[in-house]
Amino acid sequence: MKKTFNHSVKEYLESVSLNEKQFEQLMVMQERYVYKPIRRRRKKRLPWYRIAGFGSLLLLGIIVITMTDFLNVIDNNSHHYGHVSSSVIQRIADEAATNHLKMKPLEVESLEISKVQGYFSNLDFEPYSAQPLASNVQIALVGGRYCSIQGSKAVQLRYKDRQGDYVTLFETAYSTVLFEKLPNIDRGETPVVTYTKGIKVSMWVENGIVLISTEKFR
């Protein structure tokens, strides 16, 4: 019997159907979803006391972190500069380095420290025969002259090393107003060392006198 192609296809496909077992399985699957609908998570509201608790903890955390940072900054400053602010250190170093570089003529020239010290009679402190913190220990005194550091009357003693480079040692009376709390090597503290204008500047307090040593940076 001849039929149209569409009709034949329809007839052929209509003979295809699910068997009882397959149908049952699909019905069971559907029932499972009907009777056990997908649980949707409800957004739980946190009680006010929990929100307040979390807020307090967060605030406390921020305060602790801020305070720790603040204390670290203070601690870092004290560690490096012996309770001297970095701006004071920089100011002193700049002035000492400038004086070192200018190489103004010496007012007294002698290889003996006693003769040079004897020249500085117009001071409010007794010049101290300290050794500059020079990298090269083979240095010899050349002479000295009056100068000022941070507006305070000071002396500068000029030394020369074997390579012909000069090392300058500045001495002035110690004042906490001008120099804050520079490291005191009498208490075992380490001198502050900084670099400016190509010059290595070391500063410390020894026997109540501020000593600033400058030399060419090697």
Please give the residue ranges that form the binding site for another protein (CB under 8 A). Answer: 1-14, 16-18, 22-23, 25-26, 29-31, 33-34, 38
Task: Between 24 and 126, name the residue whose CB sits nearer to another protein.
Answer: 24
The CB-of-44 to another protein minimum distance in angstroms stands at 24
The CB-of-35 to another protein minimum distance in angstroms stands at 11
Task: Between 21 and 102, name the residue whose CB sits nearer to another protein.
Answer: 21
Task: Between 38 and 137, name the residue whose CB sits nearer to another protein.
Answer: 38
The CB-of-14 to another protein minimum distance in angstroms stands at 8
Distance CA(178)–CA(15), nearest Å, equals 108
Q: What DSSP state is assigned to residue 148?
A: E
In angstroms, the Cα distances linking 63 to 54, 56, 218 are 14, 11, 45
Distance CA(168)–CA(59), nearest Å, equals 53
The CB-of-10 to another protein minimum distance in angstroms stands at 5
Contact between residue 196 and residue 90 where contact means Cβ atoms under 8 Å apart:
yes
Distance CA(112)–CA(177), nearest Å, equals 33
Distance CA(28)–CA(31), nearest Å, equals 5
Task: Between 12 and 49, name the residue whose CB sits nearer to another protein.
Answer: 12
Distance CA(169)–CA(155), nearest Å, equals 8
The CB-of-23 to another protein minimum distance in angstroms stands at 6
Distance CA(19)–CA(41), nearest Å, equals 38
Q: Quote the tokens at residue 180.
A: 């804050």
Task: Between 6 and 87, name the residue whose CB sits nearer to another protein.
Answer: 6
Distance CA(207)–CA(7), nearest Å, equals 119
The CB-of-34 to another protein minimum distance in angstroms stands at 6
Contact between residue 191 and residue 133 where contact means Cβ atoms under 8 Å apart:
yes
Task: Between 32 and 162, name the residue whose CB sits nearer to another protein.
Answer: 32
